[in-house]
Structure 1
């Protein structure tokens, strides 16, 4: 075993197996997180996600292939190029759900977590008024009710979870596992690694690239963006009332992008 990577929750460290093979050892703290990640790693498309070499369910240990050179996609200066790369990885890993529903978190459960938040905090929560929370919930409900095709998704797809795995090759790591519409799994990517200035233009370009590269429905992508950015920001609210302001500012941008490219955001 070598020095572990700098992480906030799980223990992850590179190691040498049989004195020659480089691997990564991941020890998960939470049993549910371990189960979901291991299941997702086995179900997602093999060509785009890091491969499991072995696992120990009793001790919540996963032995993974080591990606080399391992450069994070977030380190790529050209945001448009990074977005195209991410779209290619995304295309490789998602898998349509046919028949039996895999036991993974769902977008319906995400909706329910927002509904519970509203129930628990009837006067609003963090930076959100009750109106904003209810508006987001209405859109969340509408999106789930009108989803026509669901996929096995990464669940935490953003540029910190995509690594270089060879010359012009990139691979996704750390899936949380999620069942839902394709567009819903790209919101975390669009909310991450945003500049201090010109955020609207950067997000607009990301929407354009993802829509084109993956043949997405722009309207649904932006609607997921609005409601999911509210929930994602709510998850960052701390006991002292602080929250992720970078996430928070994307809420209004998703709304403005929708109004510019689709029309008025009518919340019934």
Structure 2
């Protein structure tokens, strides 16, 4: 079995030695669950990220998705979150063995991504429908508690200590992100279960069920944060990226009845974190950081913005 080199590199960068050991065992684990669950392998999806995802069918020819990842708390949390959604607004889970990093999901067909819709407005409208469909309260907390988005932001301190010079996110912007995190927390109307990564590639079309989410991270936090991945996604190649981003902010604020200024502050905070993570993973981070700068510009329109 040929595992793409780009996928191997990403897993090694993110998970280190543990990821390399997992890659060594991956072909055997795939074969084990293909046999155990009586599945036929039709090859990996084209947009592999941090999990190895296969198109499979059962003995009756019914299509499914076999998802295999590094078995850790994040994977177990994703399984738990998909179970909470229970097929409503999100692809349904069939079965899972989280301790081995394996889950079987319904396959959404034809599975077109949200950005295949022709216009920004069409994409925004369907995004809003999915966003609303997966709103859930904080789930009961057991042995494996759902992580808090406020814990994610602790990575800003780690970034500051690691990247002390050279090409990096400025100290001013790190301080501004931390200031806005505090403001969003202070003004929240209450936390909820968030998807945590709701963007164009994680919303697919099913001819039977319409547009549905996939691949939730599952995190507890303010619902404003669950819009940011969409705002900054799929801007590459657009001639008017800044205008598109401004339009998305405006329309989401209107359709979801979000306070625009507060949304922009949440966007500065979370996009700064995303840029930090991307740089730490040796991935492309400048585009995300540019979005952070644009969010700050939008906030400054008609206002004087200072870091406290």
Q: Which residue of 1 aligns with 2:254?
A: 212
Residues 23-38 of structure 1: pairs in structure 2 closer than 5 A: 23-38=64-79
Deviates more, 1:160-169 or 1:83-92: 160-169
Deviation at 1:118, TM superposition (A): 2.5
Deviation at 1:184, TM superposition (A): 0.7
Counterpart of 2:160 (choices 106, 118, 134) is 118
Deviation at 1:57, TM superposition (A): 2.6
Higher relative contact order (CA 8 A, sep 6+): 1
Provide the rounded CA distance (Å) in 1 between the counterparts of 2:92 and 2:185.
31
Count matched residues: 265
Residues 100-139 of structure 1: pairs in structure 2 closer than 5 A: 103-121=145-163, 123=164, 126-139=167-180
Counterpart of 1:63 (choices 82, 88, 104) is 104
Structure 1: runs of 5 or more not aligned: none
Q: 3-state DSSP class of the match of 1:179? A: strand
Residues 1-268 of structure 1: pairs in structure 2 closer than 5 A: 1-6=41-46, 7-44=48-85, 46-97=87-138, 103-121=145-163, 123=164, 126-166=167-207, 169-194=210-235, 195-237=237-279, 243-260=284-301, 263-268=303-308
* Alpha-carbon RMSD: 2.3
Larger radius of gyration: 2
Q: 3-state DSSP class of the match of 1:220? A: helix
Provide the rounded CA distance (Å) in 1 between the counterparts of 2:151 and 2:295.
22
- Bigger helix fraction: 2
Asked whether the 8 Å contact 1:89–1:171 carries over to 2, the reply is yes
Provide the rounded CA distance (Å) in 1 between the counterparts of 2:194 and 2:59.
33
Asked whether the 8 Å contact 1:45–1:95 carries over to 2, the reply is no
Provide the rounded CA distance (Å) in 1 between the counterparts of 2:287 and 2:124.
19
Deviates more, 1:60-69 or 1:138-147: 138-147
Provide the rounded CA distance (Å) in 2 between the counterparts of 1:182 and 1:166.
28
Post-superposition CA distance 1:207-265 (Å, at most 9, x none): 1221122111212110011121111111111587x7422112111210122223x7333
